[in-house]
Amino acid sequence: MSVRVLIAGYGHVGHLLAQELKKDQHHVTGIKRSKQDHVCDQLIIKDILHLNDHDLPEVDFIVYCPSSDHRAHDAYAQIYVEGAKKIISHYQNRASKPRLLYVSSTRVYEQDHGQWVDENSECAGNDPLAKVILSGEQVVQDAALDSMIVRFSGIYGTNRHYLLDALKRGDGHLCHSLRYSNRIHAIDCARSLYHLMRVHYNEGLYIASDHEPTPINTIISWLSATLGLPVPEDMRDESSEPGDHASNKQLNNARLLHTGFRFEFPNYRQGFKHILQEEGLLPPPE
């Protein structure tokens, strides 16, 4: 049966999700601040904060996945909190209430001793941007809608592979200390969102990250060997991936797996192999 889906924040993941939905003949509306290529049935070119009720169609699902242009408190607050409030205000009083999937981040977990983390783990409060994200999650939890919060780990994929780019430029570096990296391929981001739209028993909060939290130095060494490049000699205290803050944790994806979801790229090796094949750096799959 065809359903109606609103993707609020039609970026890279939103576009991949729309492609999956259109394969199954679902009706997709996207919201984007600027015009771009899309596969939507309708694209609303407008800032989320400036939406009016008549802009928004009746839908069965909302996927709220905008991204901030700046890593600053006010920019995050506009996106994660005020934008969510705006969308919710237009839908929670309608006769037909959609399910809301709110894309969050595992940045909210600040564990830094390599320990395992799941949906029940404490979210500390020292990172100001994490606080903003948690405030947005609370807005969603308080809404009169059936809602799911999906916390993605580090998203990588086509045109999103800093480690690979840095190694190819010759300016990659290792990390002095053991630092676990958690990631999910953008294709699996889209696939997991589509999967969760169809889950009947809703546990409310899901970590979406692949099966293998891995020391960042291991990933860099594997990429170097696969590409035939020297392992970087430079070592620094901070992670070699920008946007990766000081936390050091291993994310447990068991709750997502228990819904029946299966990853296309369950670890960094398979995900990066796909990227390298796309870029012609490895032979295509047989």
CB 47 within 8 A of CB 79: no
Q: With 80 as the cut, is the pLDDT of residue 131 above it?
A: yes
Secondary structure (H, E, C), 142-194: HCCCCEEEEEECEEEECCECHHHHHHHHCCCCEECCCCEECEEEHHHHHHHHH
Q: Average pLDDT in the 58-80 region?
A: 90
Instruction: Report domain extents, the chain.
Output: 4-161+183-214+251-272
Dump pLDDT digits (tens) for 244-266.
666 799 999 999 999 999 999 99
Q: With 80 as the cut, is the pLDDT of residue 286 above it?
A: no
Q: With 90 as the cut, is the pLDDT of residue 69 above it?
A: no
**Residue 117 bridge partners (DSSP):** 251
CB 127 within 8 A of CB 245: yes
pLDDT averaged over every residue in the chain: 93
Tell me, what amino acid is at 13?
V
Q: Average pLDDT in the 54-65 region?
A: 97
What is the DSSP code (8-state) at residue 135?
H
Give the N- to C-terminal CA distance of the chain in Å, as an integer: 35
Give the pLDDT confidence score for residue 176 in this predicted structure.
Answer: 87
Q: For 151-164, give one letter per residue: b (16+ CB within 10 A) or e.
A: bbbbbbbeeebebb
Q: With 80 as the cut, is the pLDDT of residue 243 above it?
A: no
Q: Average pLDDT in the 205-214 region?
A: 98
Q: Average pLDDT in the 79-86 region?
A: 96
Q: What are phi and psi of 173, to 5 degrees?
A: -145, 155
Tell me, what amino acid is at 252?
N
Q: What are phi and psi of 236, to 5 degrees?
A: -135, 170
CATH class of 4-161+183-214+251-272: alpha beta
Measured CA distances, 215 to 137, 151, 203 (Å):
29, 20, 30
